[in-house]
């Protein structure tokens, strides 16, 4: 193998070409979910107080940054939304 050929072990660890969450901030994810589903539907899909009682991006970010299980649910719903949009041809 030529010396200048990159192998997968030689690639930087930050390269994640197949990870749809790579490079996205939590703020972008929450904003896109709220725009796509609306706060009411988002609160029904993930019943957490920051989505059901006086929801805002700011309050949601504050809670989600401190609560790993809730952040995982939000990221999972975001991935589902992307798959759904792809299926529907968005």
Is the distance from CB of 68 to CB of 22 less than 8 angstroms?
no
Per-residue pLDDT band for 5 (boundaries 50, 70, 90) equals very low
Length of the chain: 90
pLDDT score of 52? 95
CATH number of the domain located at residue range(s) 24-88 in this protein: 1.10.720.30
Rounded to whole angstroms, how far apart are CA atoms 4 and 6? 6
- Statement: residue 89 has pLDDT above 90: no
pLDDT exceeds cutoff 70 at 43: yes
pLDDT mean over 27-50 = 96
Segment 74-87 mean pLDDT: 94
Query: Are the C-beta atoms of residues 69 and 24 closer than 8 Å to each other?
Result: no
Distance CA(86)–CA(68), nearest Å, equals: 27
Count of CB atoms within 10 A of residue 87's CB? 8
């Amino acid at each position: 193998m030529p010396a200048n050929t990159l192998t997968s072990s030689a690639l930087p660890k930050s390269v994640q070409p197949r990870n749809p969450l790579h490079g996205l901030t939590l703020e972008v994810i929450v904003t896109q979910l709220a725009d796509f589903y609306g706060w009411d539907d988002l609160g029904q899909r993930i019943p957490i107080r920051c989505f059901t009682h006086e929801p805002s991006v700011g309050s949601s970010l504050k809670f989600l940054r401190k609560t790993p299980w809730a952040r995982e649910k939000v990221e999972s719903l975001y991935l589902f939304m992307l798959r759904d949009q792809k299926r529907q041809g968005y």
